[in-house]
Amino acid sequence: MSKTDDTTRTARRKFLKVGAATIAGAGALAAPSIAQAKTKTLKVQAAWGGGIFLENAQSYVERVHAMAGDALKIDLLPVNSVVKTSQMQDAVHRGVLDGAHYVPAYWYSKSKTASLFGTGPCFGWSSQEVLGWVHYGGGQELFDELMGSLGLNVVSFFNSPMPAQPMGWFKEEIKDASQMKGLKYRTVGLAADVLLEMGMSVVQLPGGEIQPAMKSGLIDAAEFNNPTSDRDFGMQDVSKDYHLASFHQSQEFFEVTFNKKMFNRLPAEHQAILKHASEAENSNFYWHNTKRYSEDLAKLREQGVNVHRTPDSVMAAQLAAWDVVVERLSGEDEFFAKVIDSQKTYAKEVLGYLNLNQPDYKLAYNHYFGNA
């Protein structure tokens, strides 16, 4: 071995030792940085004080936590913890809250177009297809455009396709649309305009006030959303006639909204988690809630409640009322008309396929279990 070779080997050994020491030192410096990384916690208020909808909000939160680990947490606050339900969107806009879990019908007083995102007219579709329109038919883009026109500093995701909401609770069985006229009825969103068109007197109340209002005679009839919530409210104690099926709110879903400036400052992976956890909650909600609703409907029957299917005459009158309301509001608001046109285009195409392809599931049900 030459002296030159020996010198080269010695230099290489020194370089490797220095390099290893440098890497070790870098690791030692980086380790405390990782250990000291702070958890990002978002304050999100729900519109629900308890019951199955608060469970659903918590389910979304659990999905976020499962995906984010300790990097991102949501502190879920029940109804009225920071602000009243009617003030939640403004609180998110201002940054008083980082986010909210509710439905668009709760803030549609700012724009009646908001009610089209979940509580609009039925073009033969269910909540599943409306969410399809949101994600693949231009609905999300239209919603974002609406937020921009209102100057709202929020970004929203939609999830949890709700089954059609019952027509609700009445003091007697409704056999014809003529019985609806003059009734003082509780609902929310554009459904209020529709039922006013049908000749009803409409009162908009929070869920927790419905049962006491009916008990005191402030209202004659009411709906909230589903058999589980209705049973929790104790509606069976103030009425024994419960009507399922209706077009007043035949499709609805949750809105999870976040302060836009805060959201945009989050790492891209955290933004993706908040979005995709919302999508993941779609299936869980439907599987979980339809099971619970069916169980609680059976319990309501056991408690002496007479369960009826809303007569076709009432639902036909609802569709006619929707026509009047949609035509009027489309004439008053070009953006409302733009959203309606987008929805009709999507519904005509997708429902055209589904109606042609889907078998009559009720025929199969009746074959095995008798008439529903």
pLDDT digits (tens, 9 = 90+) for 78-126: 999 999 999 999 999 999 999 999 999 899 889 999 999 989 999 999 9
Q: How far is CA 117 from CA 120, 144, 263, 327, in A?
A: 7, 12, 22, 17
pLDDT tens-digit series, residues 316-348: 999 999 999 999 999 999 999 999 999 999 999
- What value does the mean pLDDT of the chain take? 90
Q: How far is CA 193 from CA 37, 120, 312, in A?
A: 51, 11, 20
User: What is the percent of the chain where pLDDT is above 90?
Assistant: 84
Cα–Cα distance, 82 to 45 (Å, whole number):
8
Structure token pair of residue 43: 């304050």
pLDDT band at 189 (very low <50, low <70, confident <90, very high): confident
Q: Give yes or no for residue 19 having a pLDDT over 60.
A: no
Domains of the chain: residue spans and CATH: 40-162+251-290 (3.40.190.170), 168-248+308-369 (3.40.190.10)
pLDDT band at 25 (very low <50, low <70, confident <90, very high): very low
Per-residue pLDDT, averaged over 34-41, amounts to 70
What are the beta bridge partners of residue 184?
201
**What per-residue confidence (pLDDT) applies to 262?**
98
Q: Are 292 and 228 within 8 A, CB to CB?
A: yes
**What per-residue confidence (pLDDT) applies to 207?**
80
